[in-house]
Amino acid sequence: MKLAIFAATGGIGRHVLDQALAAGHDVTAVVRNPQKLLSTQARVVVADLAVAEPAALQVAVEGVDAVLSGLGARSKSEAGVAWQGTRAITSAMRTAGVRRIVVVSAASIGTVPSPDRPRPPRHDPGDGFFTRHLVVPVIKKVLREHYADLARMEDVLHDSGLDWTVVRPPRLTDRPLTGTYRTAYGQNLRRGITVARADVAHCMLRALDQPETTKQTVGVAN
């Protein structure tokens, strides 16, 4: 399969890249800083998703079967890159006739207001009492700008007309790949507190072979 991987040097993107190459896929890695790439097997396209680069993005997605994105703000000052970058990516995909995209978001986003969902559900149906009333309120306050960015990114996908999948992990760890993580459609996982970045990457790649994940949010946790 021909894949374009955005933010391929990020915490999750680098695992997506390594696993995709190991599986024998033909990969284009889209990165801001190519010096951070540890692998030389992928075709590399340099693009800064914080600014619109339609020509570079068009080159990256032309002829691919699917796009995977680990795009997200690394600091408060970068908040906005997820939705703006995803808007540019999906625009390039439509122009190129590419329909399939899988992105990573975050477990709490289903309860975060956005322009298209100003009154989301108060609680995620998969969260237990402790998570709902203690963990989530604190995290949403600390990461308010990041979560607003991701919520708006999901709006972009819903409005794109493309075949999207959103993977929503809880707290990320650097534990090794297990391949035995749990998933749930449209909600978080009960007692799903953490998940390895490598497992999130595995889940994203696996979604490409699961048509039932199209236009779905997928909760994932170890």
The predicted structure's pLDDT at residue 63: 96
Q: How far apart are CA 35 and CA 47, in angstroms?
A: 13
The predicted structure's pLDDT at residue 39: 65
Q: Which amino acid is at 56?
A: A
Each as own residue / partner, the long-range contacts of residues 112-115 (CB below 8 Å, 24 or more positions apart, any chain) are 112/140, 112/147, 112/148, 112/150, 112/151, 113/148, 113/151, 114/148, 114/151, 114/152, 114/154, 114/155, 115/152, 115/155
Higher per-residue pLDDT: 70 or 78: 70
Q: Strand 66-69 and strand 2-6: pairing?
A: parallel
133 Cβ partners below 8 Å, 6+ apart?
Answer: none
- C-alpha of 93 from chain center: 16
- Is 64's pLDDT higher than 90? yes
Q: Which of 201, 197, 96 is nearest to 88 (CA)?
A: 96
| Domains in the chain, number | 1
> For the stretch 159-190, what's the b/e string if a residue is b when 16 or more beta carbons lie within 10 angstroms of its beta carbon?
ebebbbbbbbbbebeeeebeeebebbeebbbe
Per residue in 179-196, pLDDT (tens digit) is 999 999 999 999 899 999
- Is 147's pLDDT higher than 80? yes
Crossing angle of helices 81-96 and 54-61, rounded to 10°: 60
- C-alpha of 123 from chain center: 21
Q: How far, in Å, are 95, 152, 168 from residue 16 at the CA level?
A: 24, 23, 15
Mean pLDDT of 117-138: 80
The predicted structure's pLDDT at residue 111: 93
Cα angle: 66, vertex 187, 197; to 5 degrees: 55
Which of 34-38, 72-76, 152-156 has the lowest average pLDDT? 72-76
Give the chain's mean pLDDT.
92
Q: Note down the domain range covering 150.
A: 2-221
Mean pLDDT of 166-182: 97
**CATH code for position 197:** 3.40.50.720
